[in-house]
């Protein structure tokens, strides 16, 4: 089972992972109120479908006023969004995430997967975020750095620090990233995930580290242990 970005971010937020101020809407009439609740003066309108590549497909727009948010919401809600992950038929957008726009200094990547060939978990990071990680893996695999975690162990602080240094972070940035990685591992483990990806994990101009996207897949065989996750299932997407 998969989650929408906004559901993944709610889960992240419960584990104190840094995410943007945000609100999900199902109706364009609700976006102005959402902007007021979120605050600020710049927002991102994000189509919620179970597929990546939404930005390139026209499903993500940055708006400089709540009126502009409204226009984008009208355009995106109900649209058939086609990305490299939806297949040629595309997906109908029925939910939108309105989110505070971040001042991005750098886009990075962080992810955890179960590596069945080694029987271990792999925590991966890359300085090359915001792009298709499959392409990075194919063209410049040296830019993806990995730390392995034994099935009965946890991500260790020194591993998290190594990963943060790989991302060329310094000072307080390292502290923020280490905390984020340890929390991410906790979510992965406690929810029996098979994959979590944050692409992009951004460094902001004020040195914050924020999860700007979320992708979470669960091990269906363990779903019976997670009633809260079952309740988030969007059957129209599965």
- Contact set with ligand ADP (CB under 6 A): 20, 44, 46, 52-55, 60, 99, 101-102, 104, 107, 130, 199-200, 212-213
Q: Whole-number minimum distance, CB 55 to Mg ion, in Å?
A: 7
Instruction: Give the one entry of Mg ion, ligand ADP, none that residue 61 binds, where binding means its C-beta sits below a cut-off of 5 to 8 angstroms depending on kind.
Output: none
Query: Closest CB to ligand ADP among 20 and 166?
Result: 20
Q: Which amino acids are annotated catalytic? A: 109, 197
Q: Whole-number minimum distance, CB 49 to Mg ion, in Å?
A: 12
Q: Hey, what are 190's tokens?
A: 């406690």
Instruction: Give the one entry of Mg ion, ligand ADP, none that residue 107 binds, where binding means its C-beta sits below a cut-off of 5 to 8 angstroms depending on kind.
Output: ligand ADP
Cα Rg for the chain, rounded, in angstroms? 18
Instruction: Give the one entry of ligand ADP, Mg ion, none that residue 18 binds, where binding means its C-beta sits below a cut-off of 5 to 8 angstroms depending on kind.
Output: none
- Cα distances from 177 to residues 13, 131, 162, 201, 213, in angstroms, run 15, 20, 10, 10, 15
Closest CA to 173 of 185, 161, 184: 161
Instruction: Give the one entry of ligand ADP, Mg ion, none that residue 54 binds, where binding means its C-beta sits below a cut-off of 5 to 8 angstroms depending on kind.
Output: ligand ADP
Query: Closest CB to Mg ion among 20 and 199?
Result: 199
Query: Closest CB to ligand ADP among 6 and 191?
Result: 6
Q: Whole-number minimum distance, CB 155 to ligand ADP, in Å?
A: 23
**Number of neighbouring beta carbons within 10 Å of residue 32:** 15
Q: Hey, what are 233's tokens?
A: 């299932």
Instruction: Say how far residue 102 (Cα) sits from the centre of its chain.
Output: 14
Residues near Mg ion (CB under 5 A): 199, 213
Phi/psi for 193 (5° steps) reads -80, 155
Pairwise CA distance, residues 230 & 183, whole Å: 22
Angle of helix 5-14 relative to helix 172-190, nearest 10 degrees, comes to 110
Q: Whole-number minimum distance, CB 60 to Mg ion, in Å?
A: 9
What single string gives the DSSP state of each residue in 173-203? HHHHHHHHHHHHHHHHHHTTEEEEEEEEEEE
């Amino acid at each position: 089972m998969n989650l929408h970005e906004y559901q993944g971010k709610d889960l992240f937020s419960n584990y104190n992972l840094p995410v943007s101020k945000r609100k999900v809407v199902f109706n364009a009439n609700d976006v102005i109120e959402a902007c007021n609740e979120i605050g600020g003066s710049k927002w991102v309108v994000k189509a919620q479908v179970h597929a990546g590549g939404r930005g390139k497909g026209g499903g993500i727009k940055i708006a400089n006023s709540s009126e502009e948010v409204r226009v984008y919401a009208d355009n995106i809600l109900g649209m058939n969004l086609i990305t490299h992950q939806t297949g040629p038929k595309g997906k109908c957008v029925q939910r939108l995430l309105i989110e505070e726009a971040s001042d991005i200094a750098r886009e990075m990547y962080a992810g955890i997967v179960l590596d069945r060939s080694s029987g271990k978990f792999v925590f991966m990071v890359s300085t090359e975020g915001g792009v298709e990680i499959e392409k990075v893996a194919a063209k410049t695999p040296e830019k993806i750095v990995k730390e392995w975690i034994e099935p009965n162990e946890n991500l260790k602080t020194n591993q998290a620090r190594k990963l943060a240094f790989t991302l060329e972070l310094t000072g307080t940035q390292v502290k923020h990233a280490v905390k984020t990685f340890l929390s991410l591992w906790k979510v992965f483990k406690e929810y029996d995930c098979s994959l979590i990806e944050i692409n992009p994990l951004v460094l902001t101009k004020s040195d914050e580290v924020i999860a700007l996207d979320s992708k979470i897949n669960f091990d269906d065989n363990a779903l019976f242990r997670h009633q809260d996750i079952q309740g988030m299932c969007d059957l129209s997407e599965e």
